[in-house]
Amino acid sequence: MGESKLQVRKRILILFLIVVFVMLGIILRLAWIQIFNNELYQSKALNQRLRKLKVEPRRGIIYDKNGEELAISGSSQTVVAVPAEIEDPSKVADKLTLILDMERSEIYKKITKSAYAVYLERKISEKKAAQIKSLDLSGITFTEETKRFYPKGDLAAHILGFAGIDNQGLNGIELAYDQVLRGEPGRIMIEKDATGRMMPRGVEQYLDPTDGNNLYLTIDHVVQYIAERELEKALRGNEAEGGTIIVMNPQTGGVLALANRPTYNPNHFAKYSPGRWRNSAISDSYEPGSTFKIVTMSAALEEGVVNLEDQFFDPGYIKVEGERIKCWKNGGHGKQTFAEVVANSCNPGFVQIGQRVGKEDFYQYVKAFGFGQKTDINLPGEADGLVYDYDDIGPVELATMSFGHGISVTPMQLITAVSAVASDGVLLNPRLVDRIENEEGEVIKDFKSKEIRKVVSEETAKTTRDLLEGVVTDGSGEKAQVKGYRIGGKTGTAKHYGVQSYDSSFIGMLPIDNPQLVVLVVMKGVSSYPYYGSQVAAPLFHDVVKDTVRYLGIPPTEREEVRDREQEDSKEVEVPNLINYSFAEGQSKLRQLGLNSKFEGSGDQIADQIPKPGAMIRKGSTVIFFSDDALDHRSRYDITVPNLEGESLKEARSLLSELELKLEGEGKGTITSQQPKPGTRIESGDTIKVKLN
């Protein structure tokens, strides 16, 4: 019996100890929760009772350069359902499906959710909101949100882009500057019980949203309208896949207009295929054709391998590594000065110019002008373009690149590069945004013109502009002329591979003495005739510029009369023998004769020269010196032999003299044969032997 009582006591003691340990654990846990971690659990309890509602900020306004609204945010009604307050969900779903763009099953699922409140359809029209309000449905209410609106419809659509249902930027400027435009959301916090009812004397708090900042673009909405109007008219008059027009101020890099076709309305962007959203001015590459010759001529002038009086001969083709590159003119242009090569847009002439520049220097200029890399205009989807890797450039690739084939550029790259010629050789970063302001109108950030690099000298840029003026007054760009304005520019036509379709383009600048505008016109995939840049793009340039200069108030500048060359400049001088002289000595002697010089190679002693000693050339011409390690460069300056058959000795001698070649032959009558044959490439100063009948 005593033993049994002892066991009972032991069991009671064990049970007591267990209860003590459990109670101690509970006490310690309560102490941990209420003393050591009371702030954490108090916060969790409060969060369970608080309903946090997001208050949308108003997205910033996008203005053009003159303060015209291009993108704004307006109020819009969003339909909200409170499931606990809906008495007959089935009947409510039946009524709402007749108004909302939703399936009945989807509406029913939302209004029967186990949630305090759910969105049914956001940012509906005023008409729909009025229809729903007239039904007076219990549990169906509205909340006000902001909706992005583009008051000018499809104007500048590819620049502006669009914003989504949550006011987030999805394309264009709206996406690129989303963080600037979006602002910071506010909060409404209300304390409610477990059933969702507001608690008496419960917590209520309202945090104001911070509205987004406003953007001022460099775009002028009137110039943009002119560009889009004329592009639309041109597409109606030509069979083409689309087109692009860009208008830029070359002194600042500011884009005044950027128009693409086909286009879309950003107010209803979802109704268009994503291809319509694509900004082809920055995203699509194309072969620039002859418009790229501006880069070739600038490089050649800067390197001193050509001057205005240099003579070239075009028999209608040129052979490079066995490849026959044709001129657009049957039979070729014959004898031409460098200025005439530019005005005639002669491909064989530009091949010879590119050969003179050489692979290494030409590649450096292509890169310096910004090709093969983004312009950093800060728009989504910009392409790099396509340029050969240096090691992949052979004689044929160099030849085709010199007249704009075998290279792909974006319209924005091309107009940025040509604007460097218009701004005295300075390459500027293109820009679309002028400044950022807050709600109070205070400037947060001002976007100044940004110089990237100096690509050519001021003198080279001026000479290039003068040559481009000749293209408009006397060459293929004649239809781009606007009365009273000196304009320089270049046409371009490039065929699509495998199909009868062309890209026709023209790029021009004005006034030529101090350019204020550079305008690029590209008509893509032209399949109707005529398709040449001179017939399709140049007239479109004229139509855009004619109204733009009037609107901007750019005064007309009458073309200066071409001054006659002084008698001294028209004289010919004999090239002295400067082989074995130092470069400095040779340069000094040529300067005394009114001649220019260029030295190729790394040595200092002249091992050879072009033209040869004894050749007669005009003052102002350039003599090329070569050191021992650059003698293989002489072939760059080879001259194409003209066809002399049927010419008299006097006529032939005059022609060859201008090409810096010699003539050997005697007799009367006309030339019946010659050696070397026409089209052969020979060195300057070489002799052509002829026979007469």
Mind telling me the catalytic residues?
290
As a whole number of angstroms, the distance between CA 29 and CA 324 comes to 92
| HSE-up of residue 312 (Cα within 13 Å, Cβ side) | 32
As a whole number of angstroms, the distance between CA 416 and CA 454 comes to 13
Distance of CA 132 to the CA centre of its chain: 47
Report helix, strand or coil for 210.
strand
| Residues found in the chain | 693
Yes or no: say if 60 and 180 are a contact pair by the CB < 8 Å rule: yes
Tokens of 155: 């104007």
What burial class does residue 66 get, using C-beta atoms within 10 Å of its C-beta: 0-12 exposed, 13-18 middle, 19+ buried? exposed
As a whole number of angstroms, the distance between CA 271 and CA 422 comes to 41
Closest CA to 406 of 376, 363, 364: 363
As a whole number of angstroms, the distance between CA 357 and CA 461 comes to 17
Tokens of 345: 């847009």
Tokens of 178: 């989303």
Closest CA to 425 of 450, 452, 457: 457
Task: State the CB neighbour count (10 A cutoff) for residue 420.
Answer: 27
As a whole number of angstroms, the distance between CA 537 and CA 522 comes to 7
Task: State the CB neighbour count (10 A cutoff) for residue 305.
Answer: 23
State how far the alpha carbon of 241 is from the alpha carbons of 260, 404, 536, in Å: 11, 21, 14
Closest CA to 625 of 659, 602, 593, 648: 602
As a whole number of angstroms, the distance between CA 684 and CA 660 comes to 6
Yes or no: say if 424 and 458 are a contact pair by the CB < 8 Å rule: yes
Tokens 């267990």 label which residue? Answer: 18
